[in-house]
Amino acid sequence: MVLPIHIYGDPILRERTQPVQADSPELQQLLDDMVETMHAASGIGLAAPQVGRRERVFVVDLTPMQEELEASGEVLAPMPMFFINPEIVEATPTRCSMEEGCLSIPDVRELVERPEGVVIRYLDRQFRPQVLEAHGMLARVIQHEYDHLEGILFIDRLSAFRRQLLKRRLRDIARGQVSAEYPLALSRV
């Protein structure tokens, strides 16, 4: 089922998520719904708070970028990927800037500097412990979605000057003055 995506201004996007205690049919349904929602919104990552949930999970699917990533030498892991109770345990000192956007902040894209690579520990969909060393686009998406689990939005990583320039647009989004090609859960701000 495609779920409505919560947008900037909704308090759930600023809350830290809670660890998942056990596998369940409800969790598996949430993961399926998140993948379906991400695909319907033409996204490449989606975290539970973006669909109004507090579980510490996110999903990633870079398949839409496969040709571009392979041309740049990146090898895709099987997609979609499921990250349950993730923890970033290491980040490379090398940083890079890349334009980011977010399904919860429609039509806003900005350059964000992040580590080029990360090591993340997590449970996969079958609740098996995994450790992944990710670089490039996969590392970027993992960091972006991980931030959502911590109540951090990509705009928080911008300079005060850039955030000031976005102030009016963000206020409009928080007031529900926004449209998207996917269902939105409009804020009550």
Residue 96 labeled ligand binder: no
Determine the Cα–Cα distance for residues 1 and 40; give it in Å rounded to an integer: 10
Q: Is 144 annotated as a binding residue?
A: yes
CA distances to 10, 111, 133, 149 from 40, in Å: 21, 25, 28, 21
* Residues whose CB is less than 8 angstroms from the CB of residue 128 and which lie 6 or more positions away in sequence, other chains included: none
Q: Which tokens in the block code for residue 108?
A: 């806003």
Write out the catalytic residue numbers: 145
What length does the chain have?
A: 189
Q: Is 6 annotated as a binding residue?
A: no
Binding positions for Fe cation are 102, 144, 148
